[in-house]
Amino acid sequence: MVEHAISAGFALLGGFNASIDAPTTGRPWLSGVVPLHGPLLGGTTHTVHGTELHLGAATNVTVGGAAAAVSSRARDHVTLTLPRQVAPGWKLVTATNEGGTAALVRGIGVLPLLDKAHAVAVGEPFRITYRGTQGDILYLAAAGARFPAPVPVPPYHHGLELHLGALLALVGPIPVSDPSGVFHLDLPGFVFARPLYVQMLGVPVGNPGYGPGCFTNVIEL
């Protein structure tokens, strides 16, 4: 039987409809991280939301297995500094105190990262977003198949996940001029056969922590 946590009146932050119960009384649990994305080199401030995060003398937080410096905590949130990460992508976030350990598998997306705002409907316009660094040069590839795991392509960071034998499109170079390092690729609706996978290679002008370049994660359209 699911027991409700002892906390009451906390706010679940996020733009989604949800109903969540803590699995047991007196244990921490997590609902999300704001902001959701952080740089490979770390150093940014993030707030981990949830409840029962104030239990005990301290709450220890890890991001991608690395310990994060916690600057403040309360019943419903912990503020931390993102530690430097080894590779880009979604990072596991854990919070541990005397009540136990809570985890978010897709806690923080470490840059450079590729995502989409919503599911893509065949024949309808959609947007793909790259989150990296101003000055990055992007190369986008789409394929009908992917490898089971990223294939290293030295000296680039991360790895190639698209199966080149099923390559359908290659676009680039595309410069990222926005100071935020964000590039939006708006595409018209078109008919395509699923599955269709997209991955980008970001080549920075300097070295923001992933030079001479880095493959992003893969998104499925």
Q: How many CA atoms lie within 13 A of 35 on its CB side?
A: 11
Q: How many CB atoms lie within 10 A of CB 44?
A: 14
Average pLDDT of the segment spanning 99-119: 89
Predicted local confidence at residue 88, as pLDDT: 75
Residue 111 confidence class, pLDDT cut points 50, 70, 90: confident
- Domain 113-220 top-level CATH class: mainly beta
Q: How many CB atoms lie within 10 A of CB 152?
A: 12
Query: In Å, how far are 22, 89, 115, 116, 124 from 127, measured between CA atoms?
Result: 35, 19, 9, 6, 10
Question: First-to-last CA distance in the chain?
Answer: 38
Ordered by start, the domain boundaries in the chain are 29-110, 113-220
- Could you tell me if 132 and 112 are in contact, meaning their C-beta atoms sit under 8 angstroms apart? yes
Q: Which residues contact 75 (CB under 8 A, 6 or more apart)?
A: 7, 10, 51, 52, 53, 54
Q: Would you say the C-alpha torsion 80, 104, 221, 188 has a positive or negative sign?
A: negative
Given a cut of 80, whether residue 20 has pLDDT beyond it is no
pTM over 0.75: no
Identify whether 155 is preceded by a cis peptide bond (ω within 30 of 0). yes
Q: Are both 29-110 and 113-220 of the same fold?
A: yes
CATH for 29-110, options being 3.30.300.10, 3.40.50.960, 3.30.1300.10, 2.60.40.10: 2.60.40.10
Average per-residue pLDDT for the chain: 86
Token pair of 152, please? 């290293």
Q: Would you say the C-alpha torsion 158, 163, 164, 170 has a positive or negative sign?
A: negative
